[in-house]
Amino acid sequence: MDNHAEPLPVARRENFARLVVAGRNQSDAYREAYPNARAWRDSTVRVKASQLANRPEIAGRILALKREAASAAVATAVPLSGPVGVTFGYYFPATQEGAADMRRHGVAMRRKTSKPDVDNIGKNLLDCMTRAGFFTDDSAVALIHAEKFEVTGRPRISVRVRQLPESPGGLFARVEVGPNAGEVVEPG
């Protein structure tokens, strides 16, 4: 298939490609697209999913869907001005030892407490987002929430940008320091 802009003729393969683009790892996407694979060993699913993803028509379709999604995201982005809030999620690949430890504990991710520093990553991303037109100037960012994790699945960065009201109006509580130290006070 030369034109990867069109859906794949086999619905399961199209579903697999869309699931991968949506963020599923290949094995999970394969199990969802091919429900019989849920009973298979993990190693078998990994091999089959990798073989499917590497087929030229599937790889081409995945690339076309990624380009389509990126184009839509940029084309619909309207630069935000005024106070903006940004939430970052950084999902780093776990080391071999870390992945083995997470498997022993039955978890797919855990908080990352080693380098890189979360604030340094955010600076670069904010600069890139300004150049990409998410906001007119990153000085408009009045709120940042960032978390970093180690994952056994697909490494990625998730970003959520939202317009904030001029006044916090109940969005936050603050802790006063002084005679009433430790008392939570609603913003006034």
pLDDT tens digit sequence for 113-159: 988 888 888 887 888 788 777 878 888 899 999 999 999 888 888 88
Instruction: Check whether residue 47 and residue 116 sit in a common domain.
Output: no
Mean pLDDT of the chain: 82
pTM of the model: 0.51
Instruction: Check whether residue 66 and residue 101 sit in a common domain.
Output: no
Report pLDDT for 117.
Answer: 85
Instruction: Check whether residue 123 and residue 70 sit in a common domain.
Output: no
Instruction: Check whether residue 114 and residue 159 sit in a common domain.
Output: yes
Quickly state the pLDDT bin for 68 (edges 50, 70, 90): confident
Q: Is 170 contained in some domain?
A: no
Q: Is 172 contained in some domain?
A: no
CA distance 146 to 89: 6
CB 125 within 8 A of CB 159: yes
Instruction: Check whether residue 69 and residue 99 sit in a common domain.
Output: no
Residue 85: count of CB within 10 angstroms of its CB: 17
Q: What is the count of structural domains for the chain?
A: 2
Q: What is the pLDDT of residues 3-27, one digit of tens each?
A: 787 889 999 999 999 888 877 889 9
Q: Which domain holds residue 56?
A: 11-76
Q: Is 150 contained in some domain?
A: yes
Distances (CA, A) of 179 to 117, 185, 186: 35, 13, 16
